Amino acid sequence: MLLAAGLGTRLRPLTELRPKPIVPVANRPLAAFAMEHLARSGVRTVVANTHPQPEMVESVLKAARPEGIELRFSREETLLGTGGGLRKAHALFDDSRSAVIVINGDTLFAPDLAAAVEAHAAAGAVATMILRSTPDPRRHGAIGIDARARVTTLLGEPRDREVTEELMFTGVHVLSAKAFESMPRSGCVIRSAYRSWVDRGANVQAVVDDSPWADLGTIEQYHRLNLELASGSFSWPGVSRSGDCILPDGFEPTPRIRRSVIGEGARIDPDAELDRCVVWPGTVVECSDRDAVLTPVHRLPVGGAR
């Protein structure tokens, strides 16, 4: 299950042009990264929920679909939240009795999904959360686990439970078939189903995976991740770099463009110099710029640039 129905409010005004799942990152739709990892992990059927501009999102994701993946869509007329979205989409799964991998479409994260599914089955868990270490887990909504890697607290509650470590939730989890009995018609899966499971001591397991993880919640994070992919400091299979840039096919490298991502069909004035810029497809750039996200209708400075 690919969660791709969010509004992306913190990424505005970019998401006023394209819904968040298809915002371009390294010249591919954002949600394509999650689909690619699912395909590499052996998944063959992906159900994605959609809400804003569903026709556009579905068309772009179909075009970006990895080979061997069957892609199905669950449209939400009104936004149902992660719990409600899972409940509505359940009828589209191949086998309603099988475990389901759930992954956010707005993060770049490549955990060992096979290991998570194996641990989930071995424990007979209702759900298994993939967690990762972070210096400040409470800032990210701390998940407490005990010495047996069982989830015992969410956001510090219940207070009387054993906690040997607090970690952050990556947005990737494995749900058993019986987990869907607890899904709300609308609302957040953590605040509803997980809250109920943990409070009553149900078997919710944790798998810790500290693979690189990136969230694109803000313009600054979006800009930084694009440049990290261009430099290779954040590595992802299939991202083609030209020096310290990511360029579209047929775009000749030039010393005037450094540490940047240039989208398909962008036109850059021959005298313009760009450094640390993310240029969207179809954008016309007439002047030199630095530390900015440039779209056909926006110039968004980042990192203190003006």
Residue numbers of the domain that contains 67: 2-215
Average pLDDT of the segment spanning 156-170: 92
pLDDT in tens, 168-201: 999 999 999 999 999 999 999 999 999 999 999 9
Whether residue 149 sits in one domain with residue 24: yes
pLDDT in tens, 40-61: 999 999 999 999 999 999 999 9
Rounded to the nearest integer, the mean pLDDT of the chain is: 93
Q: What pTM was computed for the model?
A: 0.92
- Among residues 215, 240, 256, the one where a domain terminates is 215
Of 139, 128, 159, which is closest to residue 215 (Cα–Cα)? Answer: 139
pLDDT value of residue 35? 95
Number of compact structural domains in the chain:
2
The residue to which tokens 């993060």 are assigned: 107
pLDDT in tens, 227-280: 999 999 999 998 999 999 999 998 989 999 999 999 999 999 999 999 999 999
Find out whether 213 and 108 touch, Cβ atoms under 8 Å.
yes
pLDDT higher than 70, residue 306: no
Share of the chain above pLDDT 70, in %: 99
Whether residue 154 sits in one domain with residue 90: yes
Whether residue 262 sits in one domain with residue 201: no
Distance CA(13)–CA(109), nearest Å, equals: 24
The CATH code of the domain that includes 60 is 3.90.550.10
